[in-house]
Amino acid sequence: MTRYFAFIQRRSIGDRLLFHAALVCVFASLFYVVIETNTKYLTTVPGSGGTLVEGILGTPRFVNPVLAITRADHDMVALVYSGLMKLDTEGNLVPDLAESITLSEDKRTYTIKLRNDVQFHNGEKLTARDVAYTIALIQNPDLKSPLRGNWEGVLVEELGEYELNIVLEDAYAPFIENLTVGILPRALWDELPTEQLPFSQHNTEPVGTGPYYVSDALRNKSGLINAYKLSAYHTRNTQPKIDTLVFNFYQTEKELIEALNDNDIASTPSLSIDAFSEINSDAYTILEQPLPRTFSIFFNQNRSVALRDKAVRTALNTAIDKNELVHTVLHGHGIPITSPVPPGFVTIQSKDTEESLSADNATRVQQAQQLLTAGGWEQNESGFWEKEIDEEMVTLSVSISTANTPLFDETAAFIAQAWEEVGVQVATEQYEQTDLVQAIIRPRSFEALLFGNDIGRTVDLYPFWHSSQKDDPGLNIARYTNIDTDALLVKARETEDAAERSEAITAFADIIAEEVPAVFLFVPTFSYVLDTAVSTPNFGKLSTPSERFANITQWHMTADALWPVFTNN
């Protein structure tokens, strides 16, 4: 180094300046190359930390997978508990507490091997006994679990500390969906008599194996939960990136909207369709995901001579602009449909095309009237349609029965107007939900019923369309009977082969489209308001809003820049 400085000092002033200038250029170039290389090859990865505050409408009472009823209950259960299986980011079922699940050749027995490294939040190890205990509680008629119907006739056999069999009476492919139910710690609950379980403090101070545990709970003067603070539960297999989740519970939507606009909360799943116009949408991302719920008008041909005519049913279907219905009534928060199969859950190739959804209103009226004319109906002087059937002149009229709620009220009004423009006499009868079920649906006492069906992620259409379910307590509201569709529905619920199942459901949907036992209107979407600072993976095939938390461990609020060699760590 001394020789270097001596060499520089012996040079002339001009040479020294030139040499230093060159040296600066070299170092500047090297610095630029380093910066550019660093920028080019650095990878942004999710970082850890942060607190997400969410607002929910309602109050949790049963943070217990066996007893959960309300949306607030289910949201907390999804975070505090975990099941044998869970959803991945594509909406497919994958093992969670289970290490492996094997199905027998007769499709009736699930052999489940549990992971042997899972602990409840209180440090107790999870075993097969906890799983068996949870299922037994669900099946206990005295407890009246909302899930009991899904587990009737199911036998549980403990094979060892971490292994058990779940045996069905008959093969039923969609049953595996039930293995997502959260598992309770037997040691914590077994000391309580059945009649005391709904009143236990464990329902609001839960202990599970989920990615988050309850670290604090705030109550009002009445003892009801006002807020929960959940902390990340780090294990070898579970590493949540967001440190803390806070849930504030509100009794009115007005309070919820104010909290959102005041930045007191960063997310909510609880807004009604009309409320979206009242929030500052620029500060949030609104995530939309279709739910497997179909809203339809079911025809009861036993109650109406006119509705037995396929030309009438087809004309009534044609007259409704479903795109406009979704835009007007749902403000765009829905998807128009032409079949009983909710979009996005099963891949089908239906004969029906988008053409049936694209026609304008004037074209629809004309097409519907042409169908009626071709079916032998004629318009009288008053503009209503008539036809002689069994030596009696029948006037085309339809009475719509539905629930007394804003959604059904607006939907029924939209449909009535569409049918009246064609020349159909329309009456609407609305009932409170309990009265609708007891007095109208169960005895099938209606001509046309505007109603919604919860199909489920596995799209098991058997309960809604198989002829064995046409009478109460079955859910085949239209009392539809067809030997071919019966066989297809049985095949769809028994086969484990996805391609065969899709083929059966497609064939079923094509027959339904041909016979028009119902008019299929729309599938609602789940709308989740979320702060733009929060990043989430895809929400794939949600069957309930609480399933948005299925991959909560991948949510993050911060990001780190690393060289690729370090990203695996």
- Residue spans of the domains in the chain: they are 2-41, 51-266+533-566, 293-525
Per-residue pLDDT of the chain (569 residues; tens, 9 = 90+): 555 555 556 656 665 566 566 666 766 666 666 566 555 555 556 788 999 999 999 999 999 999 999 999 999 999 999 999 999 988 889 999 999 999 999 999 999 999 999 999 999 999 999 999 999 999 999 999 999 999 999 999 999 999 999 999 999 999 999 999 999 999 999 989 999 999 999 999 999 999 999 999 999 888 889 999 999 999 888 899 999 999 999 999 999 999 999 999 999 999 988 888 888 777 888 899 999 999 999 999 999 999 999 999 999 999 999 999 999 999 999 999 999 999 888 776 655 555 567 788 889 999 999 999 999 999 998 899 999 998 899 999 999 999 999 999 999 999 999 999 999 999 999 999 999 999 999 999 999 999 999 998 889 999 999 999 999 999 999 999 999 999 999 999 999 888 999 999 999 999 999 999 999 999 999 999 999 999 998 888 899 999 999 999 999 998 765 455 444 55
Query: Regarding the domain delimited by 51-266+533-566, which CATH topology (the fold level of the hierarchy) does it fall under?
Result: D-Maltodextrin-Binding Protein; domain 2 (3.40.190)
CA-based nearest residue to 402, from 498, 260, 521, 290 = 521
DSSP 3-state of 188 = helix
Contacts of residue 358, defined as CB under 8 A and 6 or more positions apart, other chains included, come to 323
> Quick check: 80 and 212 in contact, CB under 8 A?
yes
Residue 445 pLDDT: 96
- Can you tell me the distance from the alpha carbon of 312 to that of 519, in angstroms, rounded to the nearest whole number? 12
Residue 475 pLDDT: 94
Q: Do domains 51-266+533-566 and 293-525 have the same CATH topology?
A: no
Q: How many residues does the chain have?
A: 569
Across-strand partners of 249?
56
Q: What is the pTM of this model?
A: 0.85
Residue 565 pLDDT: 46
Contacts of residue 138, defined as CB under 8 A and 6 or more positions apart, other chains included, come to 66, 145, 147, 148, 150, 151, 181
Strands 293-299 and 448-454: antiparallel
Return the CATH superfamily for domain 293-525: Dipeptide-binding Protein; Domain 3 (3.10.105.10)
